[in-house]
Amino acid sequence: MSPSNKVAIVTGSATGAGAAIALALADKGYNVVINYTKSLKEAEETEAACAAKGVETLLFQGDVSKDDDCHAMAKAAAEKWGRLDVLVNNAGKTKFVAHSDLDGLSADDFHDIYSVNTIGPFQMSRAVAPYMKKTGKGSIVMISSVAGTNGIGSSIAYVASKGALNSMTKALARTMGPEIRVNSICPGFIETRWLLQGYGEDKYDAYKKKLVRDVPLKAVCQPEDIADAVLCFTEGGHMITGEIVIVDGGMHLGA
C-alpha cells in the first residue's frame, strides 16, 4: 500500500463496534490508527487483523478526554502518512444506573461521562481539522446512540451526553465545511460485551429477547452493522453533512 492511501483514526477501536469499524475501513484500503486506553491485548489483535488486509496501521494509546492526547494522536497519524481523511469518534463511557435512581448519579459521574462522550469528540475533531483541511476534504463520524434521540439508555448522564453529541454534530457541520463533513450514527442495542458486562447476563438476555420479538427488523445490531453505516459516510454521501442516522432495526419506532 502506498503512502497516498487514505488515513482513518478510529477512537476506542480495540474491541466491539470500534474494532469492526477499523476492520471495515482497512478492508477499503485505509491506513488505520487503532486507539485504546487500557485494552492493549485486544488492540494488538485488531491491529494485526487490519494489517492482514494489506494496509499500514498505527497503535496509539490515548484518552480522548485529554486534549494533549487528541492532538498527539492526530499529529502521529499525519506525520506517519502525510494526510488525514477520516475520524470516527467511537470511544464512549457510561455508568449503568436506572433512570428512576436519581441519587445514583453524582456531578462527578456527569463530568466523567461527558469528558469522553462529548468533550472527547470535540477535542478530536478540533485536533484533526487542520490536517483534513490540508488534505482537501475529510469525514468525521460520531458514534452516538438512540439514547440521545429517545431519552433511553444506560443512565440519564449517558442520555444527556449523547443528546449533546447530536447537537454538536450539527454545530460542527456548519463550521467545518466545506472541506469537512460531520455526521452522527445512533446505534440501538449492539450485541457486544460492553452491554453484557454493564447489564449482567440475565438482564442482557431478557432485553435482547424482548427487542428481537418487538422491533420491526426482529434483530439487534451487530458491530458490523455500525461499521456498514460508517462506510456510507466515508465512501459516499459526499453531499451529506449534519445528519443524525439511527441504526437500530427500528427500535426507536416502539413496539
Q: What are phi and psi of 142, to 5 degrees?
A: -90, 135
Torsion of CA 197, 159, 15, 170, to 10 degrees: 170
Q: Could you list the active site residues?
A: 158
Q: What is the three-class DSSP state of 156? A: helix
Q: How far apart are CA 237 and CA 138, in angstroms?
A: 12
State the Cα–Cα distance between residues 245 and 255, nearest whole angstrom. 20
Bridge partners of 184? 142, 244
- Are 17 and 227 in contact, with CB atoms under 8 Å apart? yes
Q: How far apart are CA 145 and CA 153, in angstroms?
A: 8
For the chain, give the number of residues.
255
DSSP state at residue 12: T
Please tell me the distance from the alpha carbon of residue 87 to that of residue 71, in angstroms, as a whole number.
13
